[in-house]
Structure 1
Amino acid sequence: MFFSTYARRDSDYLFHDGARPTGVLLVSTFSNKHGGAISESLGPEAIAGHLIGTFGTTIAIDHIDLQLDQSARAIAAKVARDRPSLVGISVKIGALDQLRNLMRLLLPLRYDEGTGPLLVLGGVVPTFATAALLEEFPQVIMVVREGENATAALVDYVRGERSLASVPGIAFRNESGELVATPAQRLKLAQRFLPARLTSERVHKELGGMVWAEASRGCDFNCTFCSIRDLHGGGFDGGISPESVIADLIELDRRGIRAVSFTDDDFGGDPERTAKIARLIKEARLNIRFSISTRADHIWRERLSIKGERLDDAELVDRNRRLRQIMVELAEAGLERVFIGMESGSPTQLRRYGKQVSVEGNYKALEILHELGIDAVAGYIPIDPAMSLTELQENIAFLRRTGMYRKITNPLSVLRVQAGSPYLKLARQRGLLEEATDDLVFFKARFEDENVQRVAELADRWVEDMYVFMFGLKGEVASQTLLLGPGGVATSASRQVENCLFGFRELEMEFIEAVTSRLAHNGGANLRDITETFVGKRSKLVQQVIALVEDGVIGKNPRLQEAIVSMNKETAHAA
């Protein structure tokens, strides 16, 4: 039954039936732009596991992932039918339209007796755009930062066992319309419960998507472009026991999931703990391949002093010998891919980014991974608002020298100034910061160097034109990785889809090289001929991918097929 009245901010309307388990429905949104990169939503799975572990049989949990079940009306009908006491929505970046569709149906929803569910929003967007979302949806509760403790306390709240103001890590409008924010509380990871895994198997088997595992949270470093420390409310936390990590992997293996990516911001944050995880994986005889994200200086340390720890020359040699051995042990345990946040090949830009790793340090880490046969991919932000054209040229030269342009996020990436990041303050101090973008989490910025501004505008236009298609292609690469044979042996399809991706990366490198070179010689030069030439080359590559999909050679990832259909429609419309 639906009524037009909005939920009041007091608890009178909240539904709770003490004679049955308290119902909690978790909903995961996803970005349509990022839809090609299919993966499970681990945050709600972790919250579900925490609630089950905390409340046992007195709670009933369900989790709907909109990648699998994409009907807002079906969700509203389920809420009206099952009458949960709490509906929690994980709001991803780029998913505000999905959220608004859901809220149009859920906000006026009432059960027969006039009660209704507590509506809760959590995730990155509610954390960094709290005030903006409460302005739009003043009736809901925002969970800020980590969600386990807050959601468990909200269950107590709907049961009438605690006040709203005593719930940690939330924001809401009180009866007077004032914004109230309570202090966040990090989960004690040593006491964490395993993720519930309510949707993991479906995402893996029905969509060929990536499944995530978690071994730690946070990072001790403070890169200026990053908001991780603000998101978690602190630095690296390796409190999850290695035994708990293995127990989760054993459960995934039992479900037939053989490829896992770790969500850890810095998997190598505690090297000896990492070594223990590798040893336990081998002892459990798990047939799981996995990928991790870490820093270059957790593979090869170049400095005698980092974060208060000082080493002499002999100790530094021993440390690097040990770090290399740990990577060997991880590879023996099933590690196939390492994501490193290199970010730049320009020394001055690296300092501005606060990386505390030199260009040479990044290169040495890549060298070690290549020697060990571990695939290396990297985060790279070659263009930022405060940079010079010389720094951009240094970035391009580094990518060519290492060949890493094939394995980075995108050689045309432009830094997006993010809420919660130190770069936001830097941009504001330099007078570069402009208004927030539509997704509420990032800010527009102007560039100090006019030539870099021109490069950035062309790069942004290129990326925007290809966004959905490229995410679909990268999702196909991930899907093919899941289908590799024992030991990660490449198939004909996996080689062809990877070659397609490499073809686009090569073209993007040539494009930015051509544009930057011309501007370096003539700052006022016309760039139209370069743009038209490379857009033409890009169209030919797109047609090659479409032909492979139409021939059935590649195309297991459904989002790639959707992206190609969309692109074909746009091309036909333009013609």
Structure 2
Amino acid sequence: MEVSASPALSARLALPDVLLVGLGDRDRYRGARLPLGVARLASWLRFTHAARVEVLDYSLQSDARSHVTEALGWRPAVVGVGVNFGQWELLADLAGLIEQATASSETSPVVVLGNILAAFSPTEAVAPFKRAAAERRALVATGLGERPLEALCRSLHTPKAWETIPGLLQPEPTADGGDTSRMNNARRVRHQPVSTLARRTKTGVVSEAAPRVDSDTLPSAPLAPSLVAPDDSLVLAVAAEGGQVSLETSLGCQYGACTFCPRAHKGDGWLRGEQAVCVAILERFSRLRTSEGSRVAVSLVDEEFFGSEGLADPPPNQLGSAHILAAMERLGLRCEIYTRLEQLFDRHRSRRWNLRRAMLLAETAPSMRRLFAGVESGSPSQLRRYGKGQTVSQTVDALRVASTLGVPLEFGFITFDPLLTPEELVENLAFLARTDVICAPYPDGPSAAVAQIGHYLNGADLPGSGDPLYRHVAYMATELEVLANSRYADHLHRRHPELLDGYDPAFCRFGAHYAHGGIETIAGWCRVWTEGMFTPVYQARMAARSAGTGEAAEAKALVRRYRDATFALLVTLTDRFLPGLNLPQGFALAKAPSDEPALLTAESLKVTGHPITFDPSLLERRRDR
């Protein structure tokens, strides 16, 4: 079949070249993981026939800078960059490479920055791209990037039209030095000093304004795009290295009320993607093999996997999440999912709901590498401050039931926040030390395990395994990040401005002090410990979830030693800096010198077999990259 040449056909075939860059710190995050944002964008632009696309992932390149320079050699019309926390210096370096490589071009490529860091700090994000900004060719995507980037590619030759694209903004400085952004329908966003912050210095307290994005003035989010399979080249590269292949089957969180969570960058609500497309992508993944010949593990990185459909009571016969999990089991894929505790067990829901959910979990558990849930605290008052919508007893219920059903549990825990009291810290330690919560998997199959959950609903007990809770916490000695646009940040602005200490655009967070000096000291040493141990522990956690049997067992043993050492360190520091608390009996103290650096070094030796170098300057600051 022949098609006659025409201006319309020529225009249709004349697609712009797009370079998508996923930034990443290869030294810090060892082990491959799929940069899902740019992988999905690449496929979307091809799927909609909007552009020719090349993708470059820093985490997969030993010399990413040279690969960027080479890719810029074919003069892409658009460079899209995913910018995450701590990638400020990488972004500035990339901007320099772009300016250098395109210095002889008539115009700069259009630069589009995405992800939460760019959305919340748009003016600072585009600042290194001096030429693109001066030529009005530096843009920021404030939410899902597929449709805005597609619209941009279709209107590259009419820059005036860019202002009407939902989900894109164009930052620019004002004449008086303030920060504004031009966006669709002439709406504007401003970094506003919503309150005066206090910066502590050696000579006293100096007040200063901190910039902040007002989420109410961000551009309206475009419609959620259809699901597409992530970029094949990236998926294959990650799989070959035995890394983490991921897929997002739904968008949003049906809860969305945690006070520390800034949700404006990704829109509100929860939406499941098309089940048939999800299954088709999983079938594609099932053909992947690692370099050792084994199937890959798939991380379903939905913010809330079961979502709104999972809370329907009575439960529907056709649950989308159940369909997806069944497909993974049929395809022989191991998976990990992220969910909230009330999706595991909830006494407020009907017996039918709880038993149906228990059966789904019991049948799926053998295919799971991990189920991650946000526990966050074992202190009732801290849970209320976090807005978690769960009590300690509800947490215990959910963890007992899930572990009885054989679900491999890991959960998040935010031990420290600026308003933490010594009493709340002790409540957290007591909770983490509990050995009556995690239960041994019931050995007689899914039906028998679900029957035990029925007895539990009637008042029977589920015996604990003796395994302490802290052995299931991802990183337990961690601090709350006071993120811009979070309700927690607003609360500190209004009620405790003296605790705030400037704004860090590299992490979209406010600096914060602690209301209690002893807790500030404990949190500081825990920060030194967590950052010093991060790389070997992160690498071990990734290997435990994706490596072969022998390597995974060794990695799991290291992670267990790390968690034992971290809990002992928490208890030791609490006993040292809050001596009047009378910690409950049975808490294990780390036996090491009274000098804190020596204490950390001794504990690191137990974990890794060799001493770790720690950075004491982190006592006074949080990491900045």
Match for residue 35 of structure 1 among 2, 24, 29: 29
Q: Which residue in 2 is equivalent to 1:463?
A: 530
Distance 1:19 1:214, change over 3 A: closer
1:161 CA displacement: 8.5
Q: Which residue in 2 is equivalent to 1:49?
A: 43
Distance 1:96 1:223, change over 3 A: same
1:22 counterpart = 2:16 = yes
Conserved 8 A contact 1:278-1:329: no
Structure 2 CA distance for aligned equivalents of residues 539 and 382 of structure 1: 20
Q: Which residue in 2 is equivalent to 1:222?
A: 256
1:119 counterpart = 2:91 = no
1:281 CA displacement: 3.6
1:398 CA displacement: 0.7
1:188 counterpart = 2:224 = yes
Conserved 8 A contact 1:260-1:288: yes
1:103 CA displacement: 0.4
Scaled by the length of structure 1, the TM-score of the pair is 0.81
Q: Which residue in 2 is equivalent to 1:179?
A: 181
Distance 1:246 1:543, change over 3 A: closer
Deviations 1:80-115 (A, max 9, x none): 432221111111211211111110121354386624
DSSP-derived class of the 1:401 partner: coil
Conserved 8 A contact 1:339-1:378: yes
Match for residue 412 of structure 2 among 371, 375, 379: 379
The higher-RCO structure (CA 8 Å, 6+ apart) is: 1
1:414 counterpart = 2:479 = yes
Conserved 8 A contact 2:544-2:556: no
1:288 CA displacement: 0.5
Deviations 1:402-458 (A, max 9, x none): 422122122211111112321111121222222123624122111122222222122
DSSP-derived class of the 1:384 partner: coil
Conserved 8 A contact 1:169-1:184: yes
Deviations 1:242-264 (A, max 9, x none): 22111111111123242011110
1:475 counterpart = 2:473 = no
Q: Which residue in 2 is equivalent to 1:84?
A: 76
Q: Which residue in 1 is equivalent to 2:297?
A: 259
Distance 1:225 1:39, change over 3 A: farther
Match for residue 337 of structure 2 among 292, 305, 312: 292
1:340 CA displacement: 0.6
Q: Which residue in 2 is equivalent to 1:64?
A: 56
Distance 1:184 1:108, change over 3 A: farther
1:545 CA displacement: 5.9
Deviations 1:448-484 (A, max 9, x none): 22222222122122223x1xx4333332332243234
Structure 1 CA distance for aligned equivalents of residues 505 and 110 of structure 2: 26
Conserved 8 A contact 1:109-1:116: no
Aligned letter for 1:360?
Answer: S
Aligned letter for 1:92?
Answer: N
Q: Which residue in 1 is equivalent to 2:504?
A: 437
Deviations 1:182-226 (A, max 9, x none): 32324435x3333223311112213x3211011111112234444
Identity in percent = 25
Conserved 8 A contact 1:225-1:418: no
Structure 2 CA distance for aligned equivalents of residues 77 and 186 of structure 1: 32
How is 1:91-102 mapped onto 2 (pairs within 5 angstroms)?
Answer: 91-102=83-94
Match for residue 538 of structure 1 among 603, 611, 615: 603
1:541 CA displacement: 2.4
Match for residue 132 of structure 1 among 124, 127, 133: 124
Q: Which residue in 2 is equivalent to 1:199?
A: 234
Deviations 1:502-529 (A, max 9, x none): 1121111111112223444349xxx981
DSSP-derived class of the 1:341 partner: strand
Structure 1 CA distance for aligned equivalents of residues 540 and 578 of structure 2: 37
Aligned letter for 2:527?
Answer: D
Structure 1 unmatched runs, 5+: 1-15, 304-314, 485-489, 547-563, 568-575
Conserved 8 A contact 1:37-1:472: no
Match for residue 521 of structure 2 among 427, 439, 454: 454
Q: Which residue in 2 is equivalent to 1:507?
A: 565
Conserved 8 A contact 1:210-1:259: yes
Point out the more displaced range, 39-48 or 442-451: 442-451
Distance 1:329 1:244, change over 3 A: farther
Structure 2 unmatched runs, 5+: 1-9, 185-218, 290-294, 311-318, 436-467, 582-591, 615-625
Point out the more displaced range, 369-378 or 103-112: 103-112
Q: Which residue in 1 is equivalent to 2:386?
A: 353
Distance 1:228 1:428, change over 3 A: closer
Deviations 1:316-370 (A, max 9, x none): 22221122122124336x2231001000001111011011111111122211221
Q: Which residue in 2 is equivalent to 1:6?
A: none
DSSP-derived class of the 1:145 partner: coil
Q: Cα RMSD between the aligned structures?
A: 2.8
Aligned letter for 1:458?
Answer: W
Conserved 8 A contact 2:365-2:408: no
How is 1:143-182 mapped onto 2 (pairs within 5 angstroms)?
Answer: 143-160=141-158, 163-173=161-171, 179-182=181-184
1:105 counterpart = 2:97 = yes
Q: Which residue in 1 is equivalent to 2:579?
A: 521
Structure 2 CA distance for aligned equivalents of residues 274 and 76 of structure 1: 39
Distance 1:318 1:480, change over 3 A: closer
1:384 CA displacement: 0.6
Conserved 8 A contact 2:252-2:270: yes
Structure 2 CA distance for aligned equivalents of residues 437 and 401 of structure 1: 37
Distance 1:134 1:21, change over 3 A: closer
DSSP-derived class of the 1:67 partner: helix
